[in-house]
Chain A
Amino acid sequence: MKIINRRQFLYCTALILSTPASSRAFGSSDGKKGDIPGSDDNAGDIRGKIFKGDAPDKPWKWSHEGFLYTKLSDRKVVCGICPHRCVLSPGDRSVCRSKINYNGILYSISYGNPCSINVDPIEKKPLFHFKPQTKSFSLAAAGCNFRCLNCQNWEISQAKPGEIRQSELFPEDVIKAALKSGSESISCTYSEPISYFEYMIDIARLAKEKGLSNLWISNGYINKEPLIELCRYMDGANVNLKAFSDSIYRKLNGGRLEPVLNTFKMLNDKGVHFEMTNLVVPGYVDDPEMVKRMCGWILANLGPDHPLHFLRFFPQYKLDRLPPTPVSTLENFRSLAIKEGIRYAYVGNVPNHEGMNTYCHNCKKLLIERKGYLMPAYNLSGNKCNFCNTVIPGVWENRKIKT
């Protein structure tokens, strides 16, 4: 064996010490097996990559064959659920962490094992035009096809099924639990429901049968075919429109804008009630010109009736070195959106702000006053304004609201 001298040793030390660091430093922040370096944290594009050879040895109890995928040669498969269209060799795991290729078959491995279950007020989603003051049975399984730096639920969205605590709750059990909780709807939320599409769609089918509403809280990064199937059962959705900029989508979220816009068009075409959420991240998404363009696109493609929520950003997860959004920025955006022609624009994450109230787009009178989850004033009869009888877009029930 050749013995190195001290000088060579020191050169090697410097080289080796800087190598692991630099190779990881400006590439992937995810040091886990299979995540290809360069995928997560370089300054321009944080889109996730496939986890090579990271699948469990075999499918487990909570596995379910993929809803939509194509088989290729060499037992490779292409997942058809989201625009990532992950091409997985046997043993690979998808970008969303929830799909694996086992022996040439695509499996979803988060079927029936949610990691978070709560009963939330529907306004928390936020859904302001859908059965107000009802409870929604909310659940999530691990995984997400995005890599948002400001994710509120990164503990589950950026985790693999099996890595975190989970409960067993197959679709029929979900329905039972939802009914028992007195909820009127089931929300697939918190992480990204697209990553557990197979579970979500089976829950939705059963829920529909039992008269429960299905809600989808999502980033909207989904392909056309699964979305069409989902629209058959979906009653309401809140979909994030994170920015009206493809480069910001790539930089902060690890996705692309176009597929999300297509999702909105499809939801609109299929007549699903949906609301849009725009988180106003200072320095990135707080450009009034961008908001104008966004409103222009919404009006041209979706019409003026879909509620648009401008949410206040707070430092979160990895995006924790930015200040919160000033409240007046949200107020300006709301005014701007209304001026452009959006009928229902809201301010969110600001307690008891006037911008949380609903005003009739025709007579401009106060329809719903919101104080957090409480409603001191409610001036709708069914879906009509009490003052001018105008039909207010949304899913309203003809029942007494506690004021």
Chain B
Amino acid sequence: MFNILKRQSSSPILLVVVATGISSVVTQLLTIREFLAQFQGNEFVIALILFSWLIQGGIGTYLSQLFSKIIAPTSNMLAWLSLIIAGLPTFQIILIRELRDVLFIHGSSVGFYQTFAFIFLTTTPYALLIGFVLPYSLFVLRTSSPNYPGSNIYMTDNLGDIAGGALFSFFLVYFFSPLKSLLISNLLLLAATYYLFKYSGIRRAFSILCTALIMAVLVLGIVFEEKTLSPPEGRLAYYNESKYGRIEIHQDREQYTLIGDGIPIFSNQNTSIAEETIHYPLSQLSDPRHILVISSEGNIMEELEKYHPESIDYVELDPDLSDVLFRFGLIKKIRGLNVINQDGRAYLANSDKIYDAIILNLPEPETYQINRLYTDSFYAIVKKHLSPAGILSFSMEGYDNYLAEPQRQKISSVYNTLSRHFKNVLLLPGQNIYFLASQSSLKTDIPDSLNRKGISTSYVSSYYYGNLTDDRINQLKELIDKFAPINTDIYPQLMRIMFMQWFAKFSTSPFLFIIILTALSLIYLVRITKEEFVLFSTGCMAMGTEILIIFAFQIFYGYIYLKIGLIITIFLAGLLPGAWIGSRYGSNKKTSLVITDAILILLTGILIMAFKQADYEIPLSAFLLYGFIVSMTCGYQFPTALKLIGDSNPAVTKLFSADLIGAAAGTLLISVAVIPYFGIIWAAAGLIGLKIISLVIMATKS
């Protein structure tokens, strides 16, 4: 395997394949981050990006086969395509930023179909090209070596993917902005392209000129990078891409607003929310001494200070974020404040400290990462950290005068989940609905309690009685659906409700999309060969399992960026040795496919057992080992299937496409359909079901 780059005639082409792999993975990760910052940061959007990317890759692969039939593949053409690939990512990122406000109203969020169409349109050129060049490289190689094995290209591409994944996750994301990262990750591709130009006999001066031109594009992207992010209202006072996402501070006159992934989080003129966040819970306590705040709201420390607590532990996952909040005065450093940069759930799981109040300032549970902080298990952990009269408080998006149905379900689900652990749960309605939970009784007359404590407020004391009438509080209580489902780690019901709420907000439904997709999938599945089906199901399984593993890891350990990057890299890395073994060994190809299918079924069964029985005891090494074995098994199947159907050009493109389309299906199905609707166990069971079909097809069909 490792001497493939050394072959004289193929090395410029293989170098291009590796460099393209690096470029494409870095571009894909940056594109996902860009879309999350420009559109809704929910799991649906992430799945749509991956889905579009993989589908377009699959289509590009087919187009490559078609194109090669019409015009004979040449290294010259490959070099030109590679050059375009090196420059396109910069265009793509800038296009995403600039086109958004052209097509949509500035400052507005957009719905499912708009988001999908935008993703599809803006990623098409690059994703199609990426899908195109991989088989095209093979066709070029086969013009001089007709028997050149397709699996070598698969492995070489894997090598590039692994390098790209590792480069981004462990290096670029820490130090560089998106367009700088693109420059760095495309340098090798530019060099490889230049080398290929030379190899193809293109005039030196001309190839230097063209390469320099693309280099100029990459550099210009960096020059104009901050300009593409400047808000029309006010100015960009701070910008940083932390490993967790985009942090911006927008300044408009005297107001500084924290913008996280494109969404205004809070500003330094945040009195009413700061008062509600702090005084609703703390007014309930006689003498709050130790307070835990997970994530923040603007101006809350000034309000906390009024209670003179001994200690305030402020847990913020992203150190860059807490730093910038202090730097711009969005939160104040006060006596007793201790900043802890860790995942909130992981912190609580590993701490023994008891608090009088735990105040959560969380986004809505739109992602798996956030959903973990709204589950039954999480509330059980929180309860262990509260003093006997201690209080848990957090808020969710509220309403002015009418609680819409999906939101009612969401609030009810959280209420029912909380009620399993706390004797008293009080809901206070408003623009934000506040949840107060305690073993002690809870009072609704907050201004009176504050008055007794001698604590002055500007919002609560003067607006509370008009905004939070007993009628309004009782109305909300009566609207709670006692039968709304409990939100658990392995059955994240809230995510499903959040998706419903998202669709309701835009008065739309994914129904048409699902119907079309199902119909096309059925037509596709009926028409493909059994080997293609094996690889389709393998692609589906690889992506599906990766999502399950990351999800499970987060449940057990919290969001730990580096380790999740490691899991993703391991998943990519396993494919390579798997493919190498598959290309070297396995004389009985059909039996090999059946056996590896059985192994995948077995491995997923083990995963289900682990989910059912593990109690925060699965070590990271087990996750990594598991991911490596699954991905190695998946990697093994590609060259084996290729050998089975004959390593011809059409066969290679078919299998590449099946793999990509399967991965696309796995992403979409597992993350946005199966887990939120049926839970993690059934998601894994579904993957087993798919592989059983694959196994039966392979075992029975002649």
Interface residues in chain A, defined as those with a beta carbon under 8 Å from any beta carbon in chain B:
6-7, 9-10, 12-14, 16-18, 20-22, 24-26, 29-32, 35, 41, 43, 46, 115-116, 118-121, 123-124, 140, 149, 152-156, 158-159, 164-165, 190, 251-252, 281-284, 286, 314-315, 317-324, 326-329, 350-352, 371-374
Contacts and interface: CB of A to CB of B under 8 A. Distances in A.
B463 A41 contact: no
Given A10-B59, A29-B111, A324-B269, A18 B121 contact: yes
Contact of A9 (B231, B267, B524): B524
Interface in B495-517: 505-509, 512-513, 516-517
A285 B382 CA distance: 44
B262 A321 contact: yes
B58 A10 contact: yes
A323 B59 contact: no
26 contacts: A7-B62, A9-B523, A10-B657, A16-B520, A17-B55, A17-B120, A18-B117, A20-B513, A30-B507, A43-B102, A118-B469, A121-B466, A140-B402, A152-B400, A154-B505, A190-B402, A318-B108, A320-B263, A321-B109, A321-B262, A323-B259, A324-B269, A352-B458, A371-B458, A372-B461, A373-B466
A388 B467 CA distance: 35
Given A29-B507, A41-B104, A322 B264 contact: yes
Interface stretch (B81-89, B248-256, B638-646): B248-256
A116 B400 CA distance: 10
Interface residues of B, number: 77
Nearest to B459: A351
Contacts of A7: 62, 66
Contacts of B472: 118
A321 B114 contact: no
A24 B463 contact: no
A283 B118 CA distance: 24
Contacts of A29: 110-111, 114, 506-508
A159 B108 CA distance: 20
A43 B103 contact: yes
Given A24-B114, A140-B401, A158-B507, A372 B55 contact: no
B508 A31 contact: yes
B59 A24 contact: no
B569 to A, nearest CB: 30
Contact of A115 (B113, B231, B402, B466): B402
B250 A323 contact: yes
Contacts, number: 216
Interface string B251-279: 01111010100111001010110000000
B513 A43 contact: no
Contacts of B120: 17-18, 21-22
Most buried by B among A26, A164, A286: A26
Nearest to A32: B507
Contact of A351 (B109, B407, B458): B458
Contacts of B66: 7
Interface string B441-477: 0000000000000000011011101110101100000
Contacts of B399: 155
Contacts of B524: 9, 13
A9 B527 contact: yes
A321 B107 contact: yes
A155 B501 CA distance: 11
Across chains A and B, which 6 residue pairs bring their CB atoms closest together, nearest first? A372-B462, A25-B117, A24-B113, A21-B117, A326-B255, A31-B508
Contacts of A6: 62, 527, 654
B105 interface: yes
B520 A13 contact: yes
A119 B469 contact: yes
A373 B463 contact: yes
B106 interface: yes
Contacts of A155: 399, 402-404, 407
Given A20-B113, A24-B114, A327 B507 contact: no
A123 B466 CA distance: 9
A192 B115 CA distance: 30
Contacts of A14: 55-56, 59
B267 A322 contact: no
Nearest to B58: A10
B116 interface: yes
Contacts of A320: 108-109, 263-264
Nearest to A352: B458
Nearest to B269: A327
Contact of B252 (A32, A165, A282, A372): A282
Nearest to A121: B466
B234 A372 contact: no
Contact of A10 (B62, B403, B465): B62
Contacts of A115: 402
Contacts of A119: 469, 471
B278 to A, nearest CB: 14
B62 A323 contact: no
Contacts of B617: none
Most buried by B among A41, A120, A124, A317: A41
A319 B107 contact: yes
Nearest to A328: B253
A133 B233 CA distance: 37
Contacts of A140: 401-402
B201 interface: no
A24 B508 contact: yes
Contacts of B103: 26, 43
A166 B405 CA distance: 12
Contacts of B404: 155, 159, 164
A19 to B, nearest CB: 9
B619 interface: no
Contacts of A25: 110, 113-118
A321 B466 contact: no
A190 B463 contact: no
A42 B404 CA distance: 26
Interface in B222-261: 231-234, 250, 252-255, 257, 259
A30 B505 CA distance: 9
Given A121-B466, A153-B402, 12 more contacts: A10-B59, A18-B117, A26-B103, A115-B402, A153-B401, A164-B405, A281-B107, A283-B231, A321-B107, A323-B233, A323-B252, A323-B259
Contacts of B657: 10
A341 to B, nearest CB: 25
B477 to A, nearest CB: 15
A286 B252 CA distance: 11
Contact of A282 (B62, B102, B233): B233
Contacts of A43: 102-105
B462 A352 contact: yes
B257 A26 contact: no
Most buried by B among A149, A154, A323, A372: A323
Contacts of A286: 233
Contacts of A283: 106-107, 231-233
Contacts of B56: 14
B116 A118 contact: no
Nearest to A18: B120
Contacts of B471: 118-119
A227 B110 CA distance: 35
B256 to A, nearest CB: 9
A22 B117 CA distance: 5
B261 to A, nearest CB: 10
Given A155-B403, A164-B402, A321 B264 contact: yes
A351 B271 contact: yes
B462 A120 contact: no
A289 B520 CA distance: 55
A252 B104 CA distance: 11
B279 to A, nearest CB: 13
A286 to B, nearest CB: 7
Contact of B463 (A18, A158, A282, A351): A351
Nearest to B48: A21
Contacts of B115: 25
